[in-house]
Amino acid sequence: MIEIKNLHANIEGKEILKGLTLNVNAGEVHAIMGPNGAGKSTLANILAGREEYEITAGDITFDGVDLLALSTEERAREGLFLAFQYPVEIPGVSNVNFLRTALNEIREAKGEDPITAKEFMALVREKSKIVELDSKLASRSVNEGFSGGEKKRNEIFQMAMLNPKLAVLDETDSGLDIDALRIVAKGVNSLKSPENASIVITHYQRLLDHIVPDFVHVLYDGKIVKTGGKELALELEEKGYDWIKEEMQVS
Partner 1 sequence: MEDVLKKNKLQTLREIFSPTSLPFSEGLLKKTRSVLEEKDLPTRKDENWKYTNLNGLKKLSFDKDMANEILENPFISEGSNRLLIKNGVVIDSTKTIEGVRTNWSDKTLPEVVGSGVMDALNVLHCTAAIEIEFSSGGKTKELELVFENSINTQSFPRLFIRCKKGCKGTVILNYQGTTENASFSNVSSFIDVEENANLTIHKIQKNGVNAFDLQREYVNQSANSTFTINTFCLSGKMTRNDLYIKVKGNNCETYMNGAYTLKGKSHCDNHTTVDHEVAHCYSKELYKGVVDGFATNVFNGKVFVRKDAQKINAFQSNANILLSETGTVNSKPELEIYADDVKCSHGSTTGQLDDEAVFYLRSRGLSEKAAKELLVKAFLGEVLEEIDHEEVRSYVEGQIELHFTA
> Which spans of this chain sit near partner 1 (rule: CB under 8 A)?
48-50, 71-73, 75-77, 81-82, 84, 87-88, 90-93, 97-99, 101-103, 105-106, 109, 141-142, 158, 162
How many Cα atoms are found within 13 Å in the side-chain-facing hemisphere of 61? Answer: 8
Nearer to partner 1, 162 or 181 (CB): 162
Nearer to partner 1, 138 or 233 (CB): 138
Rounded distance, CA 224 to CA 201, Å?
A: 13
Shortest reach from residue 76's CB to partner 1, in Å: 4
CA-wise closest residue to 164 among 133, 197, 194: 197
Shortest reach from residue 4's CB to partner 1, in Å: 18
Residue 115: C-alpha distances to residues 14, 136, 139 (Å): 44, 21, 17
Shortest reach from residue 52's CB to partner 1, in Å: 10
Nearer to partner 1, 73 or 246 (CB): 73
Rounded distance, CA 196 to CA 165, Å?
A: 5
Contact 67, 77 (CB under 8 A): no
Shortest reach from residue 71's CB to partner 1, in Å: 7
Nearer to partner 1, 38 or 103 (CB): 103
3-state secondary structure of 198: strand
Nearer to partner 1, 145 or 240 (CB): 145
Angle 132-135-138 from CA coordinates, rounded to 5°: 100
Q: Which residues contact 223 (CB under 8 A, 6 or more apart)?
A: 17, 18, 19, 20
Shortest reach from residue 107's CB to partner 1, in Å: 9
Contact 197, 29 (CB under 8 A): yes
